[in-house]
């Protein structure tokens, strides 16, 4: 079996048995192919790798200037791959097991202020063209639900129609979660759906193949790409007077979580709506809670100088 065949079979397994998303599969493929290229210069095969080879590889990534976070992702890809080889009986051990994850400084998520978010939403509402209605639906849904952009663009109409107050989101590992949909976001979605067919391919033959994506396009996946959504948000930022470098789909996800916590939501509820399997992932937003509690003490405590 060739090296590339092993990677292909691994990716097939991750898709069929683990429900890995297309984005995750592409990341695995890039990481493993890069490691395979690294090994080829030393004339080594993937199956005979030792821990020392992986340490040398990580040192090589460091020399290229890759961050600790990126190195950790590469290491995770390798760990999953060698676990697969063990399960298949190709290896007896996992060479990644004894290698620690590169230490990462925890950075606070970037998020927009409520004022900047409001400016974006207002600018989106002013454009009543078909493209404007689509953009308004995109940004209203992102901010109202905290969805990942990959979850947004791959929404199907059936996920939006079962209950007008709830959106069914298909998250990582094909796990469904229910997210409340505000009346404002529902209205933006419904207005857009009235013109949705205008974004389908032009030929009658292609229209028959409509697979029900909420945001169809002529791309290979049949729906709007994450990259295109990012471009549209940058253009909207310019129109609304918000610095484009501050705006991205993921920043709106952070804004959703941060603004909820600022207004009294509990961390567990935010965890469920974001689709985090572990609350430790959501705890990065606790800086907001800490700031609010500090402000509460300064303003309300009887011994505070402001009291």
| DSSP summary character for residue 278 | S
Asked if 188 and 215 touch (Cβ cutoff 8 Å), the reply is no
- Kindly report the CATH number assigned to the domain that includes residue 202: 1.10.443.10
pTM of the model: 0.62
Q: Which domain holds residue 284?
A: 114-295
Q: How far is CA 163 from CA 158, 160, 179, 186, in A?
A: 10, 7, 11, 11
pLDDT at 264: 76
Same domain membership, residue 147 and residue 49:
no
- Is residue 283 situated within a structural domain? yes
pLDDT at 307: 46
- Kindly report the CATH number assigned to the domain that includes residue 31: 1.10.150.130
Q: How far apart are CA 44 and CA 39, in angstroms?
A: 5
* Phi, psi angle pair for 180, to nearest 5°: -60, 140
Same domain membership, residue 8 and residue 43:
yes
pLDDT in tens, 222-251: 888 888 999 999 999 998 888 888 888 888
Catalytic residues: 148, 172, 250, 253, 276, 285
Residue entry with tokens 């002529």? 218
Can you give the length of the chain in residues? 307
Same domain membership, residue 74 and residue 125:
no
Same domain membership, residue 260 and residue 160:
yes
pLDDT in tens, 272-282: 888 887 777 77
Q: How far apart are CA 51 and CA 7, in angstroms?
A: 19
Q: How far apart are CA 282 and CA 261, in angstroms?
A: 11
Same domain membership, residue 61 and residue 142:
no
Q: What's the whole-number average pLDDT of the chain? A: 82
Number of domains in the chain: 2
pLDDT at 1: 44
């Amino acid at each position: 079996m060739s090296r590339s065949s092993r990677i292909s079979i691994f990716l097939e397994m991750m898709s069929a048995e683990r429900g890995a998303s297309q984005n995750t599969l592409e990341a695995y493929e890039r990481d493993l192919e890069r490691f395979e290229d690294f090994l080829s210069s030393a004339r080594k095969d993937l199956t005979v790798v030792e821990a020392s080879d992986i340490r040398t590889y990580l040192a090589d990534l460091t020399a290229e200037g890759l961050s600790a976070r990126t190195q950790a992702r590469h290491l995770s890809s390798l760990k999953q791959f060698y676990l697969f080889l063990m399960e298949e009986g190709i290896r007896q051990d996992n060479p990644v097991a004894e290698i620690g994850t590169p230490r990462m400084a925890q950075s606070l998520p970037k998020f927009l202020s409520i004022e900047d978010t409001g400016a974006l939403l207002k600018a989106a509402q002013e454009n009543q063209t078909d493209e404007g209605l689509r953009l308004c639906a995109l940004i209203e849904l992102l901010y109202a639900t905290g969805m990942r952009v990959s979850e947004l663009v791959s929404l199907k109409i059936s996920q939006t129609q079962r209950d007008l107050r709830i959106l069914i989101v298909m998250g990582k590992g094909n796990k469904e979660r229910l997210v409340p949909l505000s009346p404002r976001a529902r209205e933006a979605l419904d207005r857009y759906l009235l013109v949705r067919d205008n974004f389908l391919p032009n030929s009658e033959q292609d229209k028959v193949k409509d697979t029900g994506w909420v945001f169809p396009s002529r791309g290979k996946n049949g729906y709007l790409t994450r990259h295109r959504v990012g471009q549209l948000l940058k253009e909207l930022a310019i129109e609304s007077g918000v610095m484009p470098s501050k705006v991205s789909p993921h920043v709106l996800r952070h804004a959703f979580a941060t603004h909820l916590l600022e207004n009294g939501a509990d961390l567990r509820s935010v965890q469920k709506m974001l689709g985090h399997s572990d609350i430790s992932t959501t705890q990065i937003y606790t800086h907001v809670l800490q700031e609010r509690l500090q402000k509460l003490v300064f303003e309300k405590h009887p011994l505070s100088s402001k009291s």
